[in-house]
Chain A
Amino acid sequence: MNRIDKTFKDNKNILNVYLTAGYPNLNDTVEIVQELAKNGVDMVEIGMPFSDPLADGPTIQNSSQIAIKNGITLAIIFNQIQEIRKTVNIPIILMGYYNQILQFGSDAFFEKSKAVGVDGFIIPDLSLDIYEKEHQQKVEELELDMIFLITPQTSDQRIKLIDSKSSGFLYVVSSFAITGSKSSIHQSQIDYFKRINNLKLNNPKLIGFGISDKKTFDTACIHAEGAIIGSAFIKALQQSKNIKQTVKEFINSVKSGESSVTSTDNS
């Protein structure tokens, strides 16, 4: 059983935290992930900064631009993950855009990912049919997970199709939105989560986009196996003077609601 499957089997209310590699400083990635793991985060999603991230809101865009200026590259990210794997055993998911992977060479990218200890991928602009045609075999051969998104506009039929091609978990986009757009969860979203649950899918689900604090995290956990927090954490890092302390306070605030860190996420 791979790390992602094991995490879903062993844990409840999965907290997956997104960070941008190379942000705020080029070499902060390793420490941030180590601290996230120490503070009980169940898995991490490491963003590979891209110049034109279509699905991301201003907060993550901005962090990506800074990381690129800091000099981040895929080679550096792989080194950082190798370093992280010396002490950290929670699942690591790479999130990025298809062009980066094409330029690296897709097979080389998946192989290198496997070698350094990556468990899965989220590539928003990789379509299901291209994945099937060109990459599914390789990804499955390496026993890696490809995680696809579903949205409020995805039809039941298509959700089932996506479920059948996905492994690891399904990324349930909470609303019509780019990352970091909303700060509360509305009834229409809850209806949508219920609709998904009624489909009895094979994969577990994590809810993402607009999850920013204890309240939204708890709501998400009622309707799915857990949730993904991105922009709110990047905002905390923006103001951080001390990574250890920022991570600790942020995760505490999400898990117990106790912290001085404000984690509203209206970008």
Chain B
Amino acid sequence: MNFKVNEQGFYGDFGGAFIPEMLYHNVNELKENYLQIIESDDFQTEFKDLLKEYVGRPTPLYFAKRLSEKYNTNIFLKREDLNHTGAHKINNTIGQILLAKRMNKKRIIAETGAGQHGVATATVCALMNLECIIYMGEVDIKRQAPNVARMKMLGAEVRAATSGSKTLKDATNEAIRDWIANPVDTYYLIGSVVGPHPYPDMVARFQSIISEEMKSQLIEKTGRNYPDKVIACVGGGSNAAGAFYHYLDNDKVELIAVEADGLGVKTDKTAATTQVGSEGIIHGSKTLLMQNSEGQITEPHSISAGLDYPGVGPLHAHLFKSGRGSFIGATDKEALTAAYQLTKLEGIIPALESSHALAALNKIELKQTENIVINLSGRGDKDMETYIGEMSNL
């Protein structure tokens, strides 16, 4: 089984570029150039240097002793929360901004859900002195206020997406429409492994630094360069893609993707795409998505804005369909409980998104001898209002 993208931009049955002709030139320009640019020595040197000096990589692979005792196994946390700006998102924005610069683009647009990708994009735009416009759903602007303020302080313009469900899906639509209207000077800096080819592959490559570091860190800590299980949450799927990347072909590693069940997969308030979705086209990619029998894309629900998306990237659709990945879900409540637990046991407040990955510990079989890596994709600062509000309900 092949888990790398093919020439046509497909992972198995999924992927491709289903885009209006208005985007053909731009997407094709990117497709023709991205590999050559990002594989060049010059690019890699600048990319690696910024990841080290600016982002603070490598991020620790922390052995969570008390959490491990609680579950009677060996749990390592890949500390993406310690990255500059507080999540894995900046690995990708550093990569894409260097690419945009080499393609002589002057204006950067992006979509954001939780605001983490928006902040990471605004940050690299400030660093590179480029104009930055962030599309964000009106609903998300309300529930992630601190990140909206951060983006503005960084010099970005935040535009509210007021169509549809007013969340990440709609912010993505608006960003794509902006790109259609401004195709010459504008670079669309996508925040996850979604969208038309080559975005899913490109974003996965930039995030693959996560599992690249895991390999050497695991050797040091366990004597083996791979764990028994890697657990990551999946919104669009970029942190999971990065954490899985170097283990895709290693069958000894179980890849566990955790989706947001919301209020539960039996309700209509869920974002568990692989459980309730079906094959179709969203944001230029053939993948799994939540839709009704008419092919209208339905509104997802998750307490976590970063997972509140009705699709998954084509790589994940392929991992799901082929059985290579195990897909499970965590409800809003289970994620909250896992967040409070990690905070108490380890003194780490995780992002709500990452809390879904932590909640998986209660749902899978764990052996005493196993090594488990949980990708702690982000920190909880942006979610403090939700955490404080929910504390009384515990």
Contacts and interface: CB of A to CB of B under 8 A. Distances in A.
Given A99-B281, A125-B284, A178-B181, A55 B20 contact: yes
B38 interface: no
A73 B20 contact: no
Interface string A40-57: 000000000011101101
A192 to B, nearest CB: 13
Interface in B339-384: none
B69 to A, nearest CB: 47
B295 A55 contact: no
A176 B182 contact: yes
Interface residues of A, number: 39
A148 B297 CA distance: 24
Contacts of B183: 153, 176
- Of listed A57, A125, A158, residue having the most chain B CB within 10 A: A125
A150 interface: yes
Interface string B1-39: 000000000000000111111101110000000000000
A172 to B, nearest CB: 11
Interface residues of B, number: 34
Nearest to B286: A102
Given A149-B22, A151-B22, A54 B16 contact: no
A178 B177 contact: yes
B21 A151 contact: yes
Given A102-B280, A103-B280, A54 B295 contact: no
Interface string B168-190: 01000100110011111000000
A176 B18 contact: no
A173 B18 contact: no
A142 interface: no
A243 B73 CA distance: 70
Interface in A142-171: 148-151, 153-155, 158, 162
Interface of B: 16-22, 24-26, 163-164, 169, 173, 176-177, 180-184, 279-284, 291, 293-298
29 contacts: A51-B296, A52-B297, A54-B177, A65-B163, A65-B164, A68-B296, A73-B294, A99-B291, A100-B296, A102-B279, A102-B280, A102-B295, A124-B21, A124-B22, A125-B19, A127-B16, A127-B17, A127-B18, A127-B24, A130-B16, A130-B18, A153-B24, A153-B26, A155-B25, A162-B21, A176-B182, A177-B181, A178-B177, A178-B180
Given A125-B281, A153-B22, 6 more contacts: A54-B173, A125-B20, A126-B18, A149-B20, A150-B21, A154-B24
